[in-house]
Amino acid sequence: MATFDDFMKLDIRVGTIIEAKVFEKAKKPAYQLKIDLGSEIGIKKSSAQIVDVYKCNDLIGKQVLAVVNFPPKQISDFMSEVLVLGIYSKQGVVLIKPDKEVKNGDKLG
């Protein structure tokens, strides 16, 4: 079992998706996202398998939660720098987002 201390090691922040495009070279259908995570962290890239639920244009301006302290992961020719959080559902992966708009970079606590 994970401990509370294990959970506290995760740095989960709010960011706004500023760019989304189809990830042509991904093995499984995915988007390449650019996410503004505030002035402390900056703009980071992520690969997200969320094509069943979202269209690229619908993602722009959407706030999401992302783990920002995992090591970058090479996916094909793309370096995914953060892990966007979502819920596996019957319709596909649904993004986790704040209930109200908050400042980019705010930390889950």
- Give per-residue pLDDT as tens, 2-61: 999 999 999 999 999 999 999 999 999 999 999 999 999 999 999 999 999 999 999 999
With a CB cutoff of 8 Å and minimum separation 6, the contacts of 51 are: 22, 29, 30, 31, 92
This prediction's pTM: 0.95
pLDDT of residue 79: 98
By residue count, the chain amounts to 109
Fold assignment, 4-95: OB fold (Dihydrolipoamide Acetyltransferase, E2P) (2.40.50)
Q: Alpha-carbon torsion 44, 51, 70, 108, what sign?
A: positive
pLDDT digits (tens, 9 = 90+) for 56-81: 999 999 999 999 999 999 999 999 99
pLDDT of residue 25: 94
One-letter amino acid at 51 equals V
* 109 pLDDT more than 90: no
Where are the chain's structural domains? 4-95
With a CB cutoff of 8 Å and minimum separation 6, the contacts of 28 are: 49
